[in-house]
Chains A and B, each alone.
Chain A
Amino acid sequence: AQSVSQHNHHVILSEAASLELGCNYSYGGTVNLFWYVQYPGQHLQLLLKYFSGDPLVKGIKGFEAEFIKSKFSFNLRKPSVQWSDTAEYFCAVTTGSARQLTFGSGTQLTVLP
């Protein structure tokens, strides 16, 4: 079965700092990759997704992620974070025809004003 690893459980940054959250998955076949975000008190929202094509995908609110197949990675980036980016970020993957999401354990991002 596939698994997803998020390397950082809690990241603390100051506003305007650059962000990179790591995500690695274990599955040798075709994957669809997602980043979801959960703002305090809100439900999970899709940030961006990769199905095929350009491995650099852009999402909402200035976030982007790069799929590196050789490294089984899908890291999330943002050049300059804002206080409003404080949230929990989840990487997830679906494989094959199952279309079932397997989530990582999440990374809590705290941005200090």
Chain B
Amino acid sequence: EAEVAQSPRYKITEKSQAVAFWCDPISGHATLYWYRQILGQGPELLVQFQDESVVDDSQLPKDRFSAERLKGVDSTLKIQPAELGDSAMYLCASSLVTDTQYFGPGTRLTVL
């Protein structure tokens, strides 16, 4: 069964450093989502792509976060500079035109 791939699985960094996360969606899925999940809470959407275009990034803290999906396939989420409050699980999901989203394993970020 096809899965969403993410790397790295774990990332430890110091505050003020830059970090980047990568996501490869299920082949053929045009829609890609990045979520942030703080411990004890449900995932919250950061950004949504349709192919290479951003559909919604209203919840993305644009002063430090950026996301791209240059060729409409894989995607990178970057944080620069990282802050202590950014410690969380970062999830990627993808979907076809239906509403069902399939999630990757996530990247657990710890900012020291």
Contact = CB atoms under 8 A, between A and B. Distances in A.
A99 interface: yes
A100 B102 contact: no
A105 B45 contact: no
A90 interface: yes
A44 B99 contact: no
A101 B105 contact: no
Contact of A51 (B43, B99, B102): B99
Contact of A46 (B41, B44, B102): B102
Contacts of B33: 100-101
Contacts of B44: 103
B75 interface: no
B101 A101 contact: yes
Interface in A32-66: 32, 34, 36, 42-46, 49, 51
6 contacts: A36-B103, A43-B103, A43-B106, A46-B102, A103-B43, A103-B44
Interface of A: 4, 32, 34, 36, 42-46, 49, 51, 90, 92, 94, 98-101, 103-106
